[in-house]
Amino acid sequence: MTGQEKIRWGLIGASNIAKQWLTASINKHPDCEVVSVYSRDEKRASDYARDLELHSHHTSLESLLADPEVDAVYISTTNEKHREEAIAAARAGKHILCEKPLSISTEDGEAMVEAARKAGVVLATNHHLRNMATHRAIKDVIRSGELGEITSARIGFTVDLPGDLARWRLNDPSTGAGVVLDLTVHDVDLMRYYFDADPVAVTAMGLTSGAAPHGIKDNVTSVWEFPGHLLVICQDTFLVPFGGTAVEIHGTKGSVLGADVLWQKPQGRVTVRTQSGTRELPVEHVIPYDQTIGDFVDAVRGRGRPSADGVDGLQALRFALAATQAMETGRTIHF
Ligand code: NDP
């Protein structure tokens, strides 16, 4: 690929998220086009390519990566495959947008970041919450100083897993199933984004409900310490169909509250409460994945950076895995 030609994308994984969201966001960008898909299953690959009107489909990763029509890949397979696919893509000189969690171990994530660095390709992680207008508004309020010193926060990622979403997330331990690598990893990325800092400690408790076999944790609460005497509690569960999601950030002079803000859909409300009263912030909702793609293109063109790069993905993974370790050992993990 040279200069300002279109970035042609290959999808690694005939996934739900690629079909529901990312293909549209990629194709919407004037510099991008999705041209191909790789699935292990011939029928899934050909059906997918037909439905999305792609030029081609592949049933081996090698074949997709050897396709001269493909400049960048979007990896949205199950989590345990991200490492091998990202490293192979980097070696083939393809730019990479990888789904979260970046992988299922810190060593995997480090190897992916190193492979991209060595190959000189962009590696981005799809931590989309950073790109929601609601979270950007919350961060702006925190940064403005209006809330005073931030002392505590709460993230309620209280959802359920309708239909096909439960398939591997609740049943297959080899994929890194469970809420920690699905939801907590988003929380920790969001906290790093809000506070521009890494946590200094975490402790956690987790439960397995009757719905989850193999001891997979589908209900986890973690408590995080951030620099500056700030404690954050994260409640992540697949067991709550009607609770709604929420973020609350509390400071010595005020609070900012986000309601229904932890989704893929552009939605939710943000309210600020201070001595002056309560006001709802005007939010112009955007599809977060459009911004992910826009920032990715800027990074490929050398005029910006991804909204969350490989190191952001690695850090979120590292801290989420520490929450698992805290949960399993009953100890507080200090970083
Ligand atoms: P899917 O379960 O839809 O797809 C994952 C893989 O499973 C596919 O690559 C496909 O592989 C295989 N597959 C797809 N459909 C079927 C089926 N009916 N039967 C058997 N296998 C199937 O995954 P998701 O889209 O839910 O998630 C994919 C990744 O994206 C994960 O890493 C997840 O964490 C992440 N994600 C991120 C979100 C975000 O907002 N950032 C939101 C949702 C997911 P193949 O075709 O090769 O067999």
**Residue 28 domain-assigned (yes or no):** yes
74 and 187 fall within a common domain: no
Task: Specify the pLDDT at position 164.
Answer: 80
Number of domains in the chain: 2
Ligand 1 site, residue 42, Cβ cutoff 6 A? no
214 and 324 fall within a common domain: yes
d(C-alpha 290, C-alpha 50), whole Å: 23
**Residue 186 domain-assigned (yes or no):** yes
Ligand 1 site, residue 167, Cβ cutoff 6 A? yes
Q: What is the DSSP letter of 281?
A: P
State in Å: Cα 75 to ligand 1 middle.
10
**Residue 313 domain-assigned (yes or no):** no
Ligand 1 site, residue 264, Cβ cutoff 6 A? yes
State in Å: Cα 330 to ligand 1 middle.
32
Say if CB 273 and CB 281 are below 8 A apart.
no
206 and 236 fall within a common domain: yes
85 and 175 fall within a common domain: no
**Residue 2 domain-assigned (yes or no):** no
**Residue 44 — left, alpha, or beta (φ > 0 → left; ψ -120 to 50 → alpha)?**
alpha
142 and 281 fall within a common domain: yes
110 and 192 fall within a common domain: no
Ligand 1 site, residue 13, Cβ cutoff 6 A? yes
21 and 137 fall within a common domain: no
Spatial neighbors of 29 by CB under 8 A, at least 6 apart, are: 290, 293, 294, 297
Ligand 1 site, residue 81, Cβ cutoff 6 A? no
Ligand 1 site, residue 103, Cβ cutoff 6 A? no
State in Å: Cα 28 to ligand 1 middle.
22
Determine the atom of ligand 1 nearest the C-alpha atom of 264: 40
**Residue 168 domain-assigned (yes or no):** yes
d(C-alpha 39, C-alpha 46), whole Å: 9
Pocket test for ligand 1, best of 41, 76, 102, 126 (most atoms within 8 A of CB): 76
**Residue 87 domain-assigned (yes or no):** yes
**Residue 1 domain-assigned (yes or no):** no
Ligand 1 site, residue 76, Cβ cutoff 6 A? yes
Ligand 1 site, residue 325, Cβ cutoff 6 A? no
Determine the atom of ligand 1 nearest the C-alpha atom of 20: 25
245 and 298 fall within a common domain: no
| Domain boundaries, position 81 | 7-128+289-308
**Residue 65 domain-assigned (yes or no):** yes
151 and 82 fall within a common domain: no
State in Å: Cα 13 to ligand 1 middle.
7
What pTM was computed for the model? 0.97
Protein residue with least CA distance to atom 19, ligand 1: 167
d(C-alpha 96, C-alpha 89), whole Å: 7
The CATH number that applies at residue 36 is 3.40.50.720
Ligand 1 site, residue 288, Cβ cutoff 6 A? no
Pocket test for ligand 1, best of 23, 78, 81, 263 (most atoms within 8 A of CB): 78
229 and 151 fall within a common domain: yes
Task: Specify the pLDDT at position 119.
Answer: 98
Ligand 1 site, residue 15, Cβ cutoff 6 A? yes
State in Å: Cα 270 to ligand 1 middle.
31
| Burial classification of residue 335, based on how many CB atoms lie within 10 Å of its CB (0-12 exposed, 13-18 middle, 19 or more buried) | exposed
The CATH number that applies at residue 264 is 3.30.360.10
d(C-alpha 260, C-alpha 131), whole Å: 15
- Distances from the Cα of 156 to the Cαs of 234, 300, 328, in angstroms? 6, 35, 21
156 and 112 fall within a common domain: no
119 and 138 fall within a common domain: no
Per-residue pLDDT of the chain (335 residues; tens, 9 = 90+): 556 789 999 999 999 999 999 999 999 999 999 999 999 999 999 999 999 999 999 999 999 999 999 999 999 999 999 999 999 999 999 999 999 999 999 999 999 999 999 999 999 999 999 999 999 999 999 999 999 999 999 999 999 988 788 889 988 999 999 999 999 999 999 999 999 999 999 999 999 998 888 999 999 999 999 999 999 999 999 999 999 999 999 999 999 999 999 989 999 999 999 999 999 999 999 999 999 999 999 999 999 999 999 999 999 999 999 999 999 999 999 99
d(C-alpha 188, C-alpha 320), whole Å: 7
Task: Specify the pLDDT at position 4.
Answer: 73
Say if CB 100 and CB 127 are below 8 A apart.
yes
Protein residue with least CA distance to atom 18, ligand 1: 164
Q: What tokens were used for 30?
A: 């004037």
Ligand 1 site, residue 184, Cβ cutoff 6 A? no
